Amino acid sequence: NDHHANCMEFKRDRNFQCKLKKYCANGAQCVQDHPTCPSTRICICPACFFGNECQFYTKGLGSTLDEILGYELKRNTILSKQPITVKVSAAITMIIFAVGIINCILSIMVFRRQASQKVGCGIYLLAASYTSLMIMILFALKFWLLFFSYQLIFEHRTLQAILLTNCRIVEPFLKVLLNIDKWLNACVSIERIVSVHQGISFNAEKSKTIAKYAVIMVFLSNFGVYALQIIELRVFTDSIEERSWCVITYSSFMQTYSFTLIMFHYIGPLATNVISAITIIIITTRQRYRTAAKSNPRFKDLLKLKIKHYKHLIISPIIIIILTLPHLIISFILNCNKSSHLLWFYLSGYFLSFIPSAFIFQIFILPAPVYREEFMKLKSHIRRRFHILKLNASAL
């Protein structure tokens, strides 16, 4: 406490390892100040573990921006004097946020139109648009809460409120909403299979009713499976490093549970999208082959034709895989080191994972003729309204 160093003679022949094997948790190394009669024991924690006994784990929710930029941010330093990694992250955050907000609002306006909700797909995509809008808000809020948590312009109570908000609200909600967004997109793919399989017997009204219940179930189930982790989240302040971390009390069960959730929420929706695209192409090709049997077409030629027709159903999942795969990789290889030659890869993977939510308009509206037509009608309607307002203003 007095900032004085306690110097002692170091004897290499003595063993300063703790005799108590269970004093430190999670494979941490325990050392003591005396081999036989110790007064102090210290745990040397592995990467990503904190606490007096190394009982807290920072990767309970997978990789986070806190882990990537935690050692890059300088305390009580304005943004212009922060490292280049922090300044670039701030710029990218605001660009994705601005583009994402515009795209999400446009998507909401399109999917709220009655013509866009003739079947359940429109309801899923409307819910996904609102979810993406919330993701964009939390995405920007996450960065700035992290940045301001390292500034000393706030009193202690306000700083603690920022840390708690970041740890127990923004971070878990951001993770859950990203997963909800993926599963809503998967629901769209499932309905497309049902629609193609049933053909003219497809019940549009029934699909809308199912979609409303499915959206509720997707939200409840995703928040439900993360409840155990959210409850365990807490803020741990490392007095030596003078940094705060969002941690979870570690256990082997929690590690397995976290790993299972990460893999399930990544593989599940993407596999659904890919399988649905392939299934739709095969079903429609067979249907076309049967109806055109008299002209004796080649199945291979029809298959190529259908692949070309439904290429947007294949391209979208492939793009999402490319964008989200780096984030999945860093969820397992990010090791909380103070410096890393992979830092730019970590940052790229983190930001790329938000691109699908930010570009929902380009992924789901522009490639689909029905929704693209609704957007053109919406644009014409807005232009007419502006023209009328302009005429009224000039008349006054």
pLDDT score recorded for residue 144: 93
Fold of the 62-236+244-388 domain: Rhopdopsin 7-helix transmembrane proteins (1.20.1070)
pLDDT in tens, 170-204: 999 999 999 999 999 999 989 988 888 887 788 88
The amino acid sitting at 236 is F
Q: pLDDT band at 160, cuts 50/70/90?
A: confident
When pLDDT is averaged across residues 235-259 and rounded to a whole number, the result is 77
> What's residue 1's pLDDT?
47
Domain boundaries defined on the chain = 62-236+244-388
Q: What is the overall mean pLDDT for the chain?
A: 83
pTM of the model: 0.83
Residue 163: pLDDT over 90: no
Instruction: Tell me the average pLDDT across 326-337.
Output: 72
